[in-house]
Amino acid sequence: MSHFTRKFWQVLGLVSLSSGCLAACQPHQEASNAKQAASATQTNTSSKKQEAGQSLSGTFQDIHGKTYKLEDLRGKKVYIKFWASWCSICLAGLKDVDALADESNQGNDVVVLSMVAPEIRNEKPLADFTKWFSGLDYTHLPVLVDQSGDFMKQLGVVAYPTSAFINSKGELVKVQLGHMDRQSVLDQLASMD
């Protein structure tokens, strides 16, 4: 076997292996009637994708049952981190997000939230997620529930982590795919009205 042929098969094997790993690591979205019925605890006014500058509205519960209305947060800048329990990059950044949430509780003009979608994209069911999260040491970070995944779809969230920024008028400013470090989040918030 020539050197070229051997290299060709090695490269082809690596490409095949890499493709298989990527496919295996992708979350699978499943739809069920139970998830559709459970979305009754969450309301959004629009099902089309939101664009920067559009006002956002919606009512969500966190994993402990506390209700949050986006309309009630007007007058404050809002940072939302979308994440999943299986996402190692998301988990690595939770400490910073929890610290930002703690700082926002100290009376400044920023609200820091996070959001998960139980049973969507391989996320745990809500009860399992809540039990798992309660074992972690993130005591300042509200975790809102997008039971149907509709809000995430509206914002164009296609992967985790994703960050969304809402200005003090309640308008979507930016949706950023990928990890954002603490300083990048603070810089984005500082640049908003």
How does pLDDT run across 78-129, given as a tens digit for each residue? 999 999 999 999 999 999 999 999 998 887 799 999 999 999 999 999 999 9
7 inside domain: no
- pTM for the structure as a whole: 0.74
Centre a 10 Å sphere on the Cβ of residue 12 and count the other Cβ atoms it contains.
Answer: 10
What CATH number has the domain bearing residue 84?
3.40.30.10
Q: Which domain holds residue 106?
A: 29-190
1 inside domain: no
- Between 18 and 93, the more confident residue is 93
Region at 19 (left for phi over 0; alpha for psi -120 to 50; beta for the rest): alpha
4 inside domain: no
Angle, in degrees to the nearest 10, between helices 182-190 and 88-104: 50
**Tokens linked to 181:** 């470090």
10 inside domain: no
